Structure 1
Amino acid sequence: MIEKTVNIIELPQLALAFIPVLAVIFIQFSWSLPQKRTLHALARMLVQLLLVGFFLSYIFESNSAWLVLVLLIIMVLFSSWIALNNIEAPKRQLFQRAVLAISLSSIITLFIITQGVLQLSPWYHAQTLIPLAGMVFASSMNSISLSGERYYSELANKVNYKQARNIAFQASMIPNVNALLAVGIVSLPGMMTGQILSGVSPFIAARYQIMVMCMIFASAGISSAYFLLLAKPNSDDDLK
């Protein structure tokens, strides 16, 4: 059996990945669309990934429960704040709701996945827990962002709470349902692709990907639903 190793990407090769990115920026420029946010996002992506690569190397080596907990808390706070970018409502109250929603969905989902499916030992094994937590936080963040934006738009159009909640929840789950429909036919998701590239059997990679898809779908649904429940108005007139 041929043992396969992951290729090391040199910096000059990595730079080639930005060619199609520059094409998108050129389109924005040609169509007189704003490029500032795109450039800012690309710059942040570069800095954040380079820093996190260095930081995670240290955490993986130390494998400290306290360091892992601190990092998870930071990830929850940042994902909660980013989720509110497109929501037109008071940010302080929304931030508390987003933190609660992401925390609840993450605790439930990660506990079942790490202790039930993977039987992770110790529970804070950084090299496994942090990547999985990142997927959960990102899924919850996107779901809250979509549901929150749609929910407050519906309320602004004088839609009652129950109807606005249902519309917002359905909208927030569209990307996740589409991902379930497309996986394996249209796309091979990140974890499965990475494992196949590193030489893992496609059958084993498929099992891990099923676990990940369930984890992402559940975290998105739980966080969105809880966020919308927390956003329930106090006025009886809005609850009809």
Structure 2
Amino acid sequence: MTNTTSTKRFIPRWILGLLGFSSLTAVAVSIAIYLYKRNAGSPKKPLPQSEDESNRASSSQTSSSSQKKKTGWNFLASGSGSSSSKKRKRVTISLKNTILWNPSSDVETPNHAFHEHGQALLSQLLQQHEVYILIHVTGDEEKAQIEHLLENGVLEGLDMRKVLFCSTEEGKIHIIRHLEPQLHIEGGWEYDDGEDIIRKIRPFVAKAIWVITKRRRSSFNQANIKADDQGVLGANVELTDHLLDTSLAKDLGFTTD
């Protein structure tokens, strides 16, 4: 008893307190380390809800990707199907004496109108092919009169941006050469039947339809054709005195009642 009391006298109270606190701290640290090692040693399992959400997201991405691929193939299949349909030709048509005519006895006072069935034929041509309309005019008054006629006519598929006016035959030839049509339809104008135009474009187009008068057409049926006329004829030139009597009208399925 005496020894214990003596020892307490020699050791200050604050040291004894520190030793007691350190023991408790060591125990707490040991427990914390043990718990940390146990948790770190075994991987955490994801919660069932999170796992389901992950699976649904993965499934959604796969489905979305599959749908995109299917949509792309369907689009390509549809495109290839449309390419197998009838191909649209590029056609240039000089409107005078083919679709239009001028009944006025004075060419300086134009009064253009559609040929009989010409409006219906042109409408079908516009719907089935890529058509550029060429018009040889002598002035602004004639141009305005023809524009009004076209804009107010029942012509399905008409694009006024593809209605081109010219004032010379050379200008018309230049337009035709530039557009490079598979088919050109020519009827001339008030002062010429379009022979020079056919002669100059014939080597550069796959086919030309030349609308001329019956009298002029009969001259090509004679046994002795003039040397000058031979230069305008060819396997790719179809002669006619009416556009409704051509292979073009037949190809369009156009028939008159």
TM-score, shorter chain, exceeding 0.5: no
Q: TM-score, normalised by structure 2?
A: 0.22
Please identify which structure carries the higher helix content.
1
Please identify which structure carries the higher strand content.
2
Q: TM-score, normalised by structure 1?
A: 0.24
